[in-house]
């Protein structure tokens, strides 16, 4: 056990001696580099021709330049979106029927809560994503009413696809009597 402690102490002494030699070498190198002058804080020129502040500024500029090279190299590693050969990219190409129906379903279930299609009627869906009967069923799901000219009451009119817009408040947009009261309901 004693020999281990002696070896540790010898190792520590050897390490301390190496540090001392390194410090002495740095001091000697600094004296040689500056021409034997001590550290000057001012920027005046002496025998060496340059002050330590100058070399510190050069070292700082080198560090900043090194970090900028690393950041440029990191920026080159960014991922770019892949380019796919979509079916609707050509001049005469189009989306397939099922994807258009899925898009309308997503709008109906998610997007219609905040975004309306007040300028699109259910008749615009006929021949694009739905048949005429399917568009009528969709129009019946939404409160689509119109004012009859020969009667004073408002009745539901799901057979007229031209008057009924697709959207969240389509009932209030169709009915002129309800249009101003939509925000007070």
115: annotated binding-site residue?
Answer: yes
Residue 125 to residue 134: CA distance in whole angstroms = 9
Q: Kindly give, in sequence order, each residue whose CB lies less than 8 Å from that of residue 37, ignoring residues fewer than 6 positions away.
A: 31, 46, 47, 48
114: annotated binding-site residue?
Answer: yes
Residue 159 to residue 133: CA distance in whole angstroms = 10
Biggest alpha carbon–alpha carbon distance for the chain: 117
Tokens of 20: 């001392």
What is the DSSP code (8-state) at residue 179?
A: G
CA distances (Å), 109 to each of 105, 117, 119, in order? 6, 14, 19
130: annotated binding-site residue?
Answer: no
Strands 165-166 and 117-121: antiparallel
Tokens of 110: 């998610």
Residue 148 to residue 169: CA distance in whole angstroms = 20
Q: How many CB atoms lie within 10 A of CB 46?
A: 13
Q: Which residues are annotated as a binding site?
A: 111, 114-115
Q: Which residues are annotated as a binding site for heme c?
A: 111, 114-115
């Amino acid at each position: 056990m004693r020999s281990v402690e002696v070896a540790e102490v010898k190792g520590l002494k050897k390490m301390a001696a190496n540090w001392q030699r390194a410090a002495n070498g740095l001091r000697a190198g600094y004296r040689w580099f500056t021409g034997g002058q001590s550290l000057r804080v001012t920027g005046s020129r002496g025998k060496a021709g340059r002050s330590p502040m100058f070399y510190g500024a050069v070292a700082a500029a080198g560090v900043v330049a090194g970090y900028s090279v690393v950041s440029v190299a990191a920026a080159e590693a960014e991922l770019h979106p892949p380019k796919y050969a979509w079916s609707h990219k050509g001049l005469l190409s189009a989306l397939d029927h099922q994807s258009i129906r899925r898009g309308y379903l997503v709008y109906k279930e998610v997007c219609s809560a905040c975004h309306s299609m007040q300028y699109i009627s259910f008749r615009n869906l006929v021949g694009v994503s739905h048949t005429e009967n399917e568009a009528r069923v969709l129009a019946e799901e939404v409160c689509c009413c119109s004012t009859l000219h020969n009667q004073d009451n408002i009745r539901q009119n799901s057979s007229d696809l031209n008057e009924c817009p697709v959207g969240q408040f389509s009932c209030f947009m169709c009915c002129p009597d309800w249009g101003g009261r939509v925000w007070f309901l």
